[in-house]
Structure 1
């Protein structure tokens, strides 16, 4: 089921720890709603990718320039009145608030939530991704659940991809109808 264009937030950030399916779900939401999808990992500075590939967790100082690049992409799309779906871990409330501020308009988050065991099995099965499974625990420790924040739709990851995308789209539509999207 597609989102109604007037109810669609101009930007949707698909968030969660590594291995939760941000890229797949984000691409699915974008395809169902004829919106562009941007892989947030592609915006990481090379030094961040190198650090993570070595199994070294990122610090706030490492993440802030990356978050600002994501914020710029959101802001550019919104200034052009174009929709955008983007993947970004957005692990902390301060990170999400930084993105909300950059948006300057409607912004929604789809939080993909799963158990450590499921996340670990997904990370171990991935081929060619720079993020090693050894960093899962640091991401889970950093994660501040967005539960209770306005404009956040939570989707469990223990189901088929199509079901996850459908639930995310339904949640976004429902939140939009209720006016649940805020710039921050």
Structure 2
């Protein structure tokens, strides 16, 4: 990292792309605290996903606002943070950036449907069923201004490349 200013790093991508794994490794490498965006979901969102129903924009609004509050609080306290958050649409990323756009960096974990579906099939104990992956890809609007990482690499190699590209 080159900057001494606090930044909020959002590790984004569809479910199963490795956001938590990469976020935790990046946190370990940079000593920047990590938070999993899933922990900001209200119970009703979790219940909806467990039941196999995709979230809509209204479901996601409060969740995205809570993540923005968390990031804003950290930035105002002079602290950087890393958050794993799908941030699938540009409108969602705008909510996350509200008031801190210049201090937010997106890291987009890019992978094929087939690779991610295979990973989700192996994942245990997560409330997001693999059946919702198609809806995530349908909602995904790949970011234009992000550090983009192909997930067909080792997590360690991905994190090394992210660190090289952080501002």
Shorter-chain TM-score tier: over 0.9
The 1-side partners of 2:155 and 2:83 are apart by 17
Cα deviation code 1:126-163 (max 9, x no counterpart): 000000000000000000010x22xx100000011101
In 2, are the aligned partners of 1:9 and 1:108 still within 8 Å (CA)? Answer: no
How many residues are treated as equivalent by the alignment? 167
Q: 1:182 is matched with which residue?
A: none
- Measured after TM superposition, the shift of residue 64 of structure 1 is 0.3
Matches within 5 A, 1:23-42: 23-42=20-39
In 2, are the aligned partners of 1:10 and 1:82 still within 8 Å (CA)? Answer: yes
The 2-side partners of 1:57 and 1:102 are apart by 28
Normalising by structure 1, report the TM-score. Answer: 0.87
Q: 1:69 is matched with which residue?
A: 66
Matches within 5 A, 1:35-114: 35-103=32-100, 105-114=102-111
In 2, are the aligned partners of 1:75 and 1:104 still within 8 Å (CA)? Answer: no
In 1, are the aligned partners of 2:11 and 2:82 still within 8 Å (CA)? Answer: yes
2:152 to 158, 172, 178: 158
- After superposition, the Cα gap between the structure-2 partners of 1:9 and 1:137, relative to the gap in structure 1 and judged at 3 Å, is farther
Matches within 5 A, 1:8-27: 10-27=7-24
- Extract unaligned runs of 5+ from structure 2: none
- After superposition, the Cα gap between the structure-2 partners of 1:18 and 1:81, relative to the gap in structure 1 and judged at 3 Å, is same
Q: 1:143 is matched with which residue?
A: 140
- 1:144 is paired with a residue whose SS is coil
The 2-side partners of 1:106 and 1:16 are apart by 20
RMSD: 1.2
Q: 2:2 is matched with which residue?
A: 4
Runs of 4+ in 1 over 6 A off after TM superposition: none
- Measured after TM superposition, the shift of residue 97 of structure 1 is 1.0
Cα deviation code 1:75-111 (max 9, x no counterpart): 0000100010001000000110111114264110000
- Range with greater deviation from structure 2 (96-105 or 162-171): 96-105
- 1:38 is paired with a residue whose SS is strand
- 2:63 is paired with a residue whose SS is helix
